[in-house]
Structure 1
Amino acid sequence: MLPRTPTSTTSARRPSAPSSIAPLALPGTRAYQRVSVAFFLVGFASFSLIYCAQPLLTQFTVAYHVSPTQSALALSVTTGLLAFAILLMSAVADRFTRRSVLFTSMVGAALLTVAVSLAPTWPLVLLARAAVGLVLGGVPAVAMAALAEVIDSRALGRAMGVYVGGTAFGGMIGRVGVGAMMEVTSWRVALAVLAGTCLLAAVGFRWLLPATPRADRRTETRLGDHVRIWWQHLSFELLQPLFVLGFLNLGVFVAVFNYLGFRLTVTPYHLSHAQMSLLFAAYLFGVVASPLSGAVADRFGRAKVVIFGVLTSLLGLLMTLAAPLTAVVLGVILMTCGFFVTHAVVSGWVGLVAPSHRGHASALYLLAYYLGSSIVGLSGGLFWSAGGWSAVAGYVGVLLLLALRFAVLARRPRSAEPF
Structure 2
Amino acid sequence: MTVTSSTATDPRPRAGTRAYRRTVIALVAAAVATFAQLWSVQPILPAIAEGFDTSASQAALTVSVATGGLAGFTLVWSGAADRFGRARVITASLLVATLLGCAAPLAADLSLLLVLRALQGAALGGVPAAAVAYLAEEIHPADAPRATGLYIAGNPLGGMGGRLLAGFAADHGGWAWGIAANTLLGLLALAVFVLVLPRRRTPRPATASSGGSTGPSLAARLRSALTTRGLPALYAQALLLMGAFMTVYNLLGFRLTGEPFGLSQAAASLLFLSYTAGMLGSAVAGSATARFGGYAVLTVSTALMAVGLAGLFAGVLLGLLAALLVLTFSFFSAHATASAWVGARASAGRAQAMAVYTLAYYLGSSLFGWLGGLVYDTAGWNGAVLFALGLCAAAALVALRLRRPPEPALD
What TM-score does the superposition give when structure 2 sets the normalisation length? 0.84
Residues 224, 40 of structure 1: CA spacing in aligned structure 2 closer, same or farther, 3 A cutoff? Answer: closer
Q: Counterpart of 1:284 in 2: which secondary structure? A: helix
Query: Match of 2:55, as an amino acid?
Result: S
Q: 1:68 aligns with which of 39, 51, 56?
A: 56
Percent identity, aligned pairs only? 36
Once the two structures are superposed, residues 15-74 of structure 1 have per-residue CA deviations (whole angstroms, 9 ceiling, x without a partner) of xxxxxxxx9888878776655543332121111111111112111111112211111111
* TM superposition shift of 1:163: 3.6
Aligned to 1:273: 265
1:59 counterpart = 2:8? no
Structure 2 stretches of 5 or more lacking a match?
1-10, 407-411
* TM superposition shift of 1:223: 13
Larger C-alpha radius of gyration, 1 or 2?
A: 1
Deviates more, 1:210-219 or 1:280-289: 210-219
Q: 2:361 aligns with which of 359, 363, 369?
A: 369
Query: Match of 2:40, as an amino acid?
Result: C
Aligned to 2:385: 393
Residues 232, 158 of structure 1: CA spacing in aligned structure 2 closer, same or farther, 3 A cutoff? Answer: closer
In the alignment, the residues of structure 1 paired with residue 146 and residue 334 of structure 2 have an alpha-carbon distance, to the nearest angstrom, of 21
1:199 counterpart = 2:187? yes
Listed as ranges, the matches of 1:12-411 within 5 Å are 35-144=23-132, 146=134, 160=148, 162-209=150-197, 220=212, 225-354=217-346, 356-411=348-403
Q: Counterpart of 1:182 in 2: which secondary structure? A: helix
Q: Counterpart of 2:217 in 1: which secondary structure? A: helix
Check whether the contact 1:91–1:223 (CA below 8 A) recurs between aligned residues. Answer: no
In the alignment, the residues of structure 2 paired with residue 223 and residue 376 of structure 1 have an alpha-carbon distance, to the nearest angstrom, of 37
In the alignment, the residues of structure 1 paired with residue 311 and residue 188 of structure 2 have an alpha-carbon distance, to the nearest angstrom, of 40
Check whether the contact 1:95–1:215 (CA below 8 A) recurs between aligned residues. Answer: no
Check whether the contact 1:279–1:329 (CA below 8 A) recurs between aligned residues. Answer: yes
Residues 93, 214 of structure 1: CA spacing in aligned structure 2 closer, same or farther, 3 A cutoff? Answer: farther
Structure 1 stretches of 5 or more lacking a match?
1-22, 415-419
Aligned to 2:7: none
Deviates more, 1:186-195 or 1:370-379: 186-195
* TM superposition shift of 1:83: 1.4
Residues 205, 343 of structure 1: CA spacing in aligned structure 2 closer, same or farther, 3 A cutoff? Answer: closer
Aligned to 2:5: none
Query: Match of 2:39, as an amino acid?
Result: Y
Query: Match of 1:411, as an amino acid?
Result: R
What TM-score does the superposition give when structure 1 sets the normalisation length? 0.83
* TM superposition shift of 1:348: 2.1
Check whether the contact 1:97–1:215 (CA below 8 A) recurs between aligned residues. Answer: no
Higher RCO (C-alpha 8 Å, min separation 6): 2
In the alignment, the residues of structure 2 paired with residue 143 and residue 128 of structure 1 have an alpha-carbon distance, to the nearest angstrom, of 24
In the alignment, the residues of structure 1 paired with residue 247 and residue 215 of structure 2 have an alpha-carbon distance, to the nearest angstrom, of 34
Residues 27, 307 of structure 1: CA spacing in aligned structure 2 closer, same or farther, 3 A cutoff? Answer: closer
Residues 56, 354 of structure 1: CA spacing in aligned structure 2 closer, same or farther, 3 A cutoff? Answer: same
* TM superposition shift of 1:329: 1.2
> Cα RMSD (Å) of the superposition?
3.1
Once the two structures are superposed, residues 122-145 of structure 1 have per-residue CA deviations (whole angstroms, 9 ceiling, x without a partner) of 111011101111111221223345
Residue-pair matches, total: 392
